[in-house]
Amino acid sequence: MMALPQDDKAAIPKRPISNIVFIIAMQTEASPLVDKFQLTQESNSVFPTGVPWVRYSGKYKDLNINIVSPGKDTVLGVDSVGTVSSSLLTYASIQALQPDIVINAGTAGGFKAKGACIGDVYLASDVAFHDRRIPIPVFDLYGVGTRQACSTPNLAKELNLKIGKLSTGDSLDMCPHDETAIIANDATVKDMEGAAVAYVADLLKTPAIFLKAVTDIIDGDKPTTEEFLQNLAAVTAALDQAVTRVVDFISGKNLSEL
């Protein structure tokens, strides 16, 4: 649903992309990119008073780059991960910053049965939820909420990125019901934000792509939490590198050239 129909795509002005918003859930994931693109934290927030959301921005080549994060929970002090925070942040950021494209970048779990390895960076072809079971006709489809990412065949080919489907849920672990839904979603990677970002971007008619770096193998023999925390820093470096290549590729191109 998010891939632009041909008619719409033809109507896109053939001007280069100038404004990118990255939605990144965790500080550990955002920091290396903030440094890499030499962004500075905006003190004059475009967000309401009291929200912990953080925006870094700056110019890189011909692009305005914003990295937004949901920030630390105001009471508990941990990163505000998950679908509620990321949907709010995506909404507020699109409204305030009117990006040409949204890029949701972050870490994910991967399934080795579908070819994923630690450190792989996936470009998601499709995103869907795996923890919104509503067993009433049509509501069931709404719950799963499958959406295609913005079509970027040239980017995928040029950068030789792995392509896979992404499944989103608000739990770090995977209960049997989640697993069944993830298999039904034909997912290679599993995260906690993607499908929510896709929903909001679709609602506000903004193209979105999804870059997910694999921190843990879900169908492997190590516990997810342990593997996730162990690999977070190293895999974030791989993500950092992939994001830089994506931004370099986007620079000077219009949407239909991606």
> Residue 11 interacts with its own copies (CB under 8 A)?
no
What is the rounded distance in angstroms from the CA atom of residue 23 to the CA atom of residue 167? Answer: 17
Regarding 210 and contact with its own copies (CB under 8 A), the answer is: no
Binding range to its own copies, per CB under 8 A, among 58-66, 159-167, 200-208, 211-219: 200-208
User: 184, 129 in Cβ contact below 8 A?
Assistant: no
Query: Which of 33, 196, 238, 243 is the binder for its own copies (CB under 8 A)?
Result: 196
Structure tokens at 169: 């849920």
Residue closer to its own copies, measured from CB, 27 or 241: 27
**Binding to its own copies by residue 175, rule CB under 8 A?**
yes
Residues that are catalytic: 29, 216
Closest approach, Cβ 189 to its own copies, in A, equals 18
Q: Are 221 and 151 in contact (CB under 8 A)?
A: no
* H or E, element range at 10: helix 6-11
Site stretch for its own copies (CB under 8 A), options 6-14, 111-119, 139-147, 213-221: 139-147
18, 38, 74, 98: which one contacts its own copies (CB under 8 A)? 74
198 in Cβ contact with 208 (< 8 Å) = yes
Instruction: Name 136's Cβ contacts closer than 8 Å, sequence gap at least 6.
Output: none
Q: Is 80 in the site for its own copies (CB under 8 A)?
A: yes
The DSSP string of 138-198 is THHHHHH--EEPPP-HHHHHHHT-EEEEEEE-S-SS--HHHHHHHHHTT-SEEESSHHHHH
If binding is defined by CB under 8 A, does position 225 make contact with its own copies? Answer: yes
Minimum CB separation of residue 158 from its own copies in Å reads: 31
- Confirm or reject binding of residue 177 to its own copies (CB under 8 A): yes
Q: Which residues pair with 212 in a beta bridge?
A: 106, 122
Between CA 155 and CA 17 the distance in angstroms is 14
Residue (83 or 188) nearer to its own copies, CB: 83
- Count of residues engaged in binding its own copies, rule: CB under 8 A: 48
- Does residue 156 belong to the site contacting its own copies (CB under 8 A)? no
Tell me if 76 contacts its own copies by CB under 8 A. yes
Answer yes or no whether residue 173 interacts with its own copies by CB under 8 A: yes
- Asked if 158 touches its own copies (CB under 8 A), the answer is no
Dmax over CA atoms of the chain, in Å, equals 50
Report how far residue 149's alpha carbon sits from residue 198's, in angstroms, rounded to the nearest whole number: 7
- For the bound state, the minimum distance from the C-beta of residue 100 to its own copies, rounded and expressed in Å, comes to 17
Do the bridges between strand 101-110 and strand 19-23 make them parallel or antiparallel, or are there none, so unpaired? parallel
Alpha carbon dihedral 41, 45, 51, 56, in 10-degree steps, equals: -20
* Pick 147 or 165: Cβ nearer its own copies: 147
Residues contributing to the site for its own copies (CB under 8 A): 1, 48, 50-51, 73-78, 80-84, 87-88, 91-92, 95, 129, 131-136, 138-139, 141-143, 169-173, 175-177, 196, 199-200, 203-205, 225, 229
